[in-house]
């Protein structure tokens, strides 16, 4: 049997199929082997080209450092040793380089020893919380120090208790410089808060995650045809005309985020003890709407952004919306899998296997062009392991929530396949 998604057993759920699970495990190992080349001798991490060689840029962004720590911590929990020392290197780099000893918090990017961009962004800070939480689950000795520091910073500067949401951006010395509020930082805030609750059992993390989800899903998504507005003003009114950074703050709505929010909504609901709420139905509506709007029925793949009526705005096909759709479908299958969930899950993996997974070198290509070949219009090289590794590991984990603990109990990456 060759190592492709199309060779899986046609019967039952792929989540239970040993051949599919073996496929996921091998893909995770290949990606980890590829990204083992990330550490720089002088500290921090390289961005790697398609073949695994370092790109020339020496700028290190906060989300890159934190996502590597989180990803390798998950892999360690799943049974794969960190042969490149990425968790240790990343935790050290976060504390000694990204962390701002003068003003507190974490700068957005570094170039060698110099600060390239000292902006304090909620988007970057919530990933510090995610990295600290996953490192704690993986038993890193410095995790508690980092977790306490970032929790205090988020509480003091970013958390808006009245709104129950995260503010977005400050100067290096904590002066507000815009009235922008955004969904993206809050969505990843939910991810980090749920991980922090898993790592500490502190109820406040879970409570804040629920408040954020209630606003964006029961509030904004329900009022916008189950598409989530990305951008808001200072009073948390949607700003439909906003268009910012094309990667982090694109115009319109982003179906990849609907998949991610659906998965996090189910995770939070499960982690909260499965209360009698509409969370499962709301998650299904988010997923069904995003699939109907964004799937390219002719070529496969998912459009990057949509207009507010659901029509395609930016048709570029990136890897990460596919990985997030896989995660959301896996969660729905675990909850109460329906035939359409299984069909979509298989369709997504078959597309990824044919077009996005780099079977020669490991990892996933970040974009494919109109000719179905790898393209580099938005990204240089392979920017991170985070999305693709979670697409492999989350389906392997039992249950809807607390994937770190589940993976530690199962250790799927430590088993021979």
> How far, CA to CA in Å, does 132 sit from each of 127, 187, 189, 333, 390?
8, 17, 13, 30, 17
63, 257, 265, 355: the catalytic one is 257
46, 140, 265, 387: the catalytic one is 387
Helical packing angle, 403-410 and 62-77, nearest 10°:
40
Q: Which of helix, strand or coil describes residue 180? A: coil
The values of phi and psi at residue 125, to 5°, are -70, -35
**C-alpha span between 168 and 186 (Å, rounded):** 9
User: Is 237 an annotated catalytic residue?
Assistant: no
Cβ contact 247:384 at 8 Å: no
Query: What is the Cα Rg of the chain in Å?
Result: 20
CA geometry: angle 121, 123, 128, nearest 5 deg: 95
DSSP state of 116: E
Q: Which of helix, strand or coil describes residue 384? A: coil
Tell me which residue of 265, 333, 326, 264 sits closest to 301, measured CA to CA.
326
Task: Indicate which residues carry an active-site annotation.
Answer: 257, 387
């Amino acid at each position: 049997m060759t190592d492709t998604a199309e060779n899986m057993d046609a019967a039952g759920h792929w989540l239970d199929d040993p051949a599919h699970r073996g496929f996921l495990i091998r893909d995770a190992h290949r990606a980890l082997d590829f990204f083992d080349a990330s550490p720089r001798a002088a500290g921090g991490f390289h961005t790697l080209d398609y073949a695994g060689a370092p790109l020339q840029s020496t700028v290190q962004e906060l989300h890159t450092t934190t996502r590597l720590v989180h990803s390798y911590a998950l892999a360690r929990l799943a049974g794969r040793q960190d042969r490149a020392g990425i968790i240790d290197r990343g935790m050290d780099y976060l504390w000694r380089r990204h962390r701002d000893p003068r003003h507190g918090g974490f700068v957005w990017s570094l170039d060698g020893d110099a600060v390239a961009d000292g902006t304090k962004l909620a988007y970057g800070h919530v990933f510090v919380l995610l990295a600290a939480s996953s490192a704690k689950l993986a038993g890193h000795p410095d995790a508690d120090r980092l977790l306490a520091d970032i929790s205090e910073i988020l509480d003091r500067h970013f958390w808006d208790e009245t709104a129950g949401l995260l503010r977005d951006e400050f100067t290096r010395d904590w002066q507000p410089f815009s009235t922008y509020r955004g969904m993206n930082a809050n969505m990843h805030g939910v991810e980090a808060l749920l991980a922090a609750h898993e790592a500490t059992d502190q109820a406040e993390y879970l409570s804040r995650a629920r408040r954020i989800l209630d606003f964006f899903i029961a509030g904004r998504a329900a009022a916008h045809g189950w598409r989530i507005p990305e951008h808001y003003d200072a009073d948390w009114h949607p700003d439909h005309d906003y268009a910012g950074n094309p990667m982090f703050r694109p115009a319109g709505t982003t179906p990849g985020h609907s998949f991610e929010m659906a998965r996090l909504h189910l995770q939070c609901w499960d982690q909260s003890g499965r209360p009698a709420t509409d969370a499962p139905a709301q998650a299904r509506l988010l997923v069904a709407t995003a699939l109907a709007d964004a799937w390219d029925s002719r070529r496969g793949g998912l459009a990057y952004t949509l207009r507010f009526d659901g029509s395609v705005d930016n048709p570029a096909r990136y890897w990460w919306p596919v990985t997030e759709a896989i995660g959301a479908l896996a969660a729905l299958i675990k909850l109460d899998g329906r035939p359409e969930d299984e069909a979509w899950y298989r369709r997504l993996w078959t597309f990824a296997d044919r077009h996005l997974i780099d079977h020669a070198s490991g990892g996933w290509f970040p974009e494919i062009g109109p000719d179905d070949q790898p393209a580099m219009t938005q990204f240089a090289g392979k920017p991170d392991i985070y999305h693709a590794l979670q697409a492999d590991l989350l389906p392997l984990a039992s249950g809807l929530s607390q994937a770190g603990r589940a993976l530690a109990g199962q250790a799927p990456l430590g088993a021979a396949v």
